[in-house]
Structures are given as C-alpha cells and as structure tokens.
Structure 1
Amino acid sequence: MTGRLKAPTGRYGGKTAEERQAERRRRFLDAALQLFGDTPGYRSTTVAALSEAAGLSTRQFYEEFRTLEDVLAALHLQVNAWAEEAVVAAVAGAGPLPLAERAAAIFRAYAANVTGDPRRVRITFVEIIGVSPRLEEQRLSRRSRWVDLVCAEAAAAVARGEAAPRDYRIAATAFIGSVNGLLHDWNAGWVDATLDEVVDELVRQLLSILRPPGWGPAPT
C-alpha cells in the first residue's frame, strides 16, 4: 500500500466529509488504544482486526492511514497530548504556589493522567519502543518536549530565587528518564507504593536537582 485511498467527499447522513473523516479516525484510534494498549498489543494486531474493532472496513482504514505504524504514531502523540493538556492546566492552576507545592501539583496531574488508564502507560512506555527509527525519533522528540517543560519550570524557579542558577537540560533529561521508568514500573506492579508516594518521591528528586547541597536562597 503506497498511499491512502481517496475518501468520499460531499455531505452524507447530515455530516460533511470532514466530519465523517474525523469520526472514522477517532474510531480507529479508540480501537487502537484498546488493541495496542491491552490485548493483543501493537505487534500482534492486524489491519483487519483493528478495522473490525472499530466497526469499520479495511477500505476505510486505508482511507485514513497507510500502515498500522501510522496508527501507533498518531495514538502515541494523542496520549502525550492528553498528558500535556493536564500538565499545562496544572501549571496554570499552581500559579504562585511555593516550589515544592507547585512541583507536586504538576507531577500529580501528569501521573494521574498517564496512569489513570493502563493502556496509555503501555502505549507511552512499551509499545512505542523499538518499532522503527521513525517512531524512535518521534518518541525522543516527544520526550524532549517534557524536558523543555522541566527546564522552563526550573528557569521560572531560578527567577523567583527558589532554585540554583545553572543549565538544567542534562539534569532534566535524566529526571524525565526517572519519571518514565518509575511510572512504568509502578503501573506494572513492580513498585510497592501508592501513586501519591510515587509522586512525592519524584518531587523530592526534582527539588534535590533544583536545590543542591550547599545552595540556599539569597537573603532578602
């Protein structure tokens, strides 16, 4: 299959072609979240099985996507977008809170969104790994956005006199790796802790990065 089939145009059933296309795409992604994120997983799912789960035909699949990898790529971006929306809302809501409380609110929002549906955890941390160079580049690019967010929060904390001034990119990259690993292991049942305890540990790690031993805020 070298390209998508051409989708029908015009109004049908009271919906425009664009509305029908958006609905089909949503149904395919909903089905993919179930099949890729649960059983049987991305590598054991076929176009026919995904189409059946979506209640659509394989022809309609090829009107929306070229391959199952395209579906996984779109789903991975969607799951990350949901988490990012939750974090952005938490950042806005945290406003003038002290650093520790602000960090806790942000990571609680992220952890609750990602782990609230185990299928999202599997898409984010398991199914996307090792599929292809293209998806590896997408995974790293998307992770870089989270690194940018941590760096932005660190810069804001420095500006408020709540954190030590430094280049935080390497530390933020290492920290995001810790976040991903800990949440994956917790969701898999390998970490005996509550989600609040997991978040508290992540906040402690972040604060230790932002406030290294020997550093203290300048006297006012």
Structure 2
Amino acid sequence: MLKALIFDMDGTLVHSDPVHLEAFAEILAPEGIVIDEELYRSSIIGHTNEAIFAALLPHLPVEEHEAYADRKEAAFRRLAQALKPLDGLLDLLDWADARGIRIALVTNAPLLNATHILDVLGITDRFAIKITIDQVARGKPDPLPYLTALERLGIAADEAIAFEDSPSGMRAAKGAGLYSFGVLTGLSAEDMRAVGADDVIETFHDRALWQLLERRIAA
C-alpha cells in the first residue's frame, strides 16, 4: 500500500540548477574558478557543499570552505526569487493529499534554502516531513537521510516512492530500499538508470508515473 511520496528538492521539485550554477559562478569567480555546465554536472550536482568546496578549493582550510558555502547559499537565495514548481508537481501533490498519502522532503540543501524554496513555490505546508542536511550526520549518497524520513513517517521502504535527479540522490534512495523515479531535469535517462533508477520521468505528468501510482494504490 502506498503511504508516502518522498522528494528531493533541487532539480526535482523545481528546476533550480541554473540558479545554483549562477550562485557558484559568482562566489568562485574571485578564486579564478569558472563554473560551466560541464563542471557543474561533474563536480557539483548532487554533492554536499562540504564535498564541493573541498574539491574546488583544496588549498583552503575547512573553515574557509564553510564560509564560501554560506556565501554561496546566501547568493542562491537572493537569486532564486521567481522559481516555479516542475510541471505536474502541484497535480501530484493534490492527488496525494486527496488519498491521504503523505509528502516528505529529503534534500542535501541546508534548512534556510529548503525553507526559501518551498516558500517561493508556495508548497511549504504540503510536506509532513522535511529532512535537510542540517538534520543528519551524513548526506546523500549515504542512505541515512532517506532512512531518517522513513523512520519519522513510521513506514517501511516498500510503502513509499522516491523522486531524485542526481546520481548521489538516486544512490541514497536505492540504498534505503525505495522504488525511485529519476527526474530528467539535468541528466539523461541512461545516466539515471545506470545509478539505479527504477524508471525515469521528464515531468510529473508522465504516463509511467501515473500508471505506477494507480497500481500501487490498488494493491
């Protein structure tokens, strides 16, 4: 029986990657680092800020990595004022609400970012559970954030479906035992299937998603 839908945030609820790229580019330009699409996809998407700044600024101490991360997230919130939900998301949330299916968020983003994005999208109150990087000892690709969400929801992995757009997120969801859709806002279907996606969708209107949902609620 389907009891919950669990969503990543960036690239899943909203196509926010272009704004993140802009924020990273702005903050790292003084260091002479050019953030382009290739570097963003290979070294940033789906990674924690701790890992990102350690890789891009290995010559700096951890304290400065943290300061850069804080500045980057502040820049992102300043730039992210006009984002819209991914196509079909609101319909899916309405469908779940009407059936008593709970909604959860699992993101490597900090709480300030998650609060800002959900407010901008107008969906803050739709989420029963919100797991951010601040609340767990290890972020994705570790399955701990998803396991924490399942524990707080009081359900088993086979009673939920996850939605992810990055390799690290997909590995985390599959590591927690969840049936998982890869959302194709940044990577190809082949890329997402290669890291474990059970199926892939371009938007939340995709037929593959709704066919599975109908089967799961009929079970």
Whether these two folds match at TM > 0.5 is no
Give TM-score, length-normalised by structure 1: 0.30
Greater C-alpha radius of gyration: 1
Give TM-score, length-normalised by structure 2: 0.30
